[in-house]
Amino acid sequence: MPRAHNFAAGPAAIPLPALQQAREDIFDFGGSGVSPMELSHRGKEFEAIHQEAKSLLKELMALPEEFKILFLQGGASLQFGMVPMNFLAPEKSADYINTGTWSKKAIKEAKLFGKVNIAASSEETKFDRIPDLDSIRFDPGAVYVHITSNNTIEGSEYHKFPKTGGVPLVADMSSDILSRPLDVRPFGLIYAGAQKNLGPAGLALVLIREDFLAKANANLTTMLRYQVHVDEDSRYNTPPTWGVYMLRNVLRWVKTLGGLPAMEARNKKKADLLYKTIDESGGFYRGTVLKESRSLMNVPFRLPSEELEARFLTEAKKENLLQLKGHRSVGGIRASIYNALELESVEALCDFMNRFMGKAV
């Protein structure tokens, strides 16, 4: 099967077994005579898919009972607004750590609903790091502390989380959810667009802790209340059924491979190989993030000139190494190496990088 090496940042590669399962089910889901896309969201077939996706998530992430799982729409971007809309008010304040483009978008939305304290930022150094967590002074009165656990565009990632003195963490984990084991207990809410590590675009995952949910504002439009989606088990209206079905397939694959410890080992192996290739290139390839803050998911790097970068991308494409262009806001090269990307794809990229350098210097 001619599958490309897909380094896309999102929508990103989906594990082949999850796609193969979809091919098997596409016209006839389990003898129902209809496609997963044609199932009623209130029928027993979809109910089984929905509950399996939830129970796999619960198992893989070791979610305690008090965490509710929601399947929503509107992407991570709607969560930028939905979080402060539910939890802030003009007299209330939240702490935000600014680590890149997506953090800034979250901050912009929060300011519409309440006070925002930028507890730490790495903007002065062009987002080349996660700020030193031990020197952050959090506001003890804050309703929550918002972080972006992995900065998809800049290529930095938290390798430990800040100690907030009991204030719930709220995290945008769009680009590193399920990539490693996680202790969810300090988090009041976690959200992620599905199109990086979970499945197709159109689905957003929200995990919310009951005691945090209890503090949400009630005077909001129905669709933007977390409580409504919790009460209706994500079926107040028609949920993104295809996205939930594909998520289930992806979660089955994660479980088959050995869960999150196996994902982490696999992701480390890929990232180590790629960073090693960059670091041992004698400065030809230059990483843009401090070593201790480097992401295991998105690896941005530069070449000696923009002209060489353009040539790199053209020649990479000829070898089926796709979607390596850095985000338009930062330029350069970016290899996204999420869960689904195989080690052999990173090996093919590193081999190409070494050959390209050999020709260029």
List 172, 176, 242, 270, catalytic entry:
172
Does 174 engage in binding with ligand PLP (CB under 6 A)?
A: yes
172 is catalytic: yes
In the complex, minimum distance from the CB of residue 83 to ligand PLP, in angstroms, rounded to a whole number: 12
Q: Which residues of 83-101 are buried (b: 16+ CB within 10 A; e: fewer)?
A: bbbbbbeeebbbbbbbbbb
In the complex, minimum distance from the CB of residue 272 to ligand PLP, in angstroms, rounded to a whole number: 22
In the complex, minimum distance from the CB of residue 184 to ligand PLP, in angstroms, rounded to a whole number: 18
Strands 115-121 and 93-98: what pairing?
parallel
Residue type at 88? L
Could you tell me which of 292, 280, 291, 299 has the C-alpha nearest to residue 337?
A: 299
In the complex, minimum distance from the CB of residue 27 to ligand PLP, in angstroms, rounded to a whole number: 29
Residue 285: helix, strand or coil by DSSP?
Answer: coil
253 is catalytic: no
Of 200 and 285, nearer to ligand PLP (C-beta) is 200
Of 147 and 353, nearer to ligand PLP (C-beta) is 147
Could you tell me which of 321, 324, 341 has the C-alpha nearest to residue 267?
A: 341
The CA distances from residue 149 to 99, 162, 182, 190, in Å, are 9, 11, 11, 10
Does 155 engage in binding with ligand PLP (CB under 6 A)?
A: no
6-35 positions binding ligand PLP, by CB under 6 A = 10
Of 109-117, 134-142, 167-175, 264-272, the segment contacting ligand PLP by CB under 6 A is 167-175
CB 229 within 8 A of CB 50: no
Of 251 and 297, nearer to ligand PLP (C-beta) is 297
Residue 335: helix, strand or coil by DSSP?
Answer: strand
Does 175 engage in binding with ligand PLP (CB under 6 A)?
A: yes
Query: How many residues lie near ligand PLP (CB under 6 A)?
Result: 12
Choice from 98, 152, 164, 336 touching ligand PLP (CB under 6 A): 152
Cα separation of 54 and 321, whole Å?
34
In the complex, minimum distance from the CB of residue 44 to ligand PLP, in angstroms, rounded to a whole number: 30
Of 54 and 196, nearer to ligand PLP (C-beta) is 196
Measured from each CB, the residue nearest to ligand PLP is 75
Q: Which residues of 114-153 are buried (b: 16+ CB within 10 A; e: fewer)?
A: bbbeebbbbeeeebebbbebeeeebbeebbbbbbbbbbbb
Dihedral angle computed from the Cα positions of residues 51, 53, 56 and 59, in that order, rounded to the nearest 10 degrees = -70
Strands 145-148 and 67-72: what pairing?
unpaired
Of 121-129, 132-140, 170-178, 283-291, the segment contacting ligand PLP by CB under 6 A is 170-178
CB 295 within 8 A of CB 311: no
Choice from 172, 203, 321, 345 touching ligand PLP (CB under 6 A): 172
54-113 positions binding ligand PLP, by CB under 6 A = 75-77, 102
In the complex, minimum distance from the CB of residue 186 to ligand PLP, in angstroms, rounded to a whole number: 19
CB 144 within 8 A of CB 116: no
256-285 positions binding ligand PLP, by CB under 6 A = none
68 is catalytic: no
Choice from 84, 193, 240, 287 touching ligand PLP (CB under 6 A): 193
Does 249 engage in binding with ligand PLP (CB under 6 A)?
A: no
Strands 187-193 and 204-209: what pairing?
antiparallel
Cα separation of 161 and 137, whole Å?
14
* Residues labelled catalytic: 102, 172, 196
Question: Which residue ranges make up the site for ligand PLP (CB under 6 A)?
Answer: 10, 75-77, 102, 148, 152, 172, 174-175, 193, 196
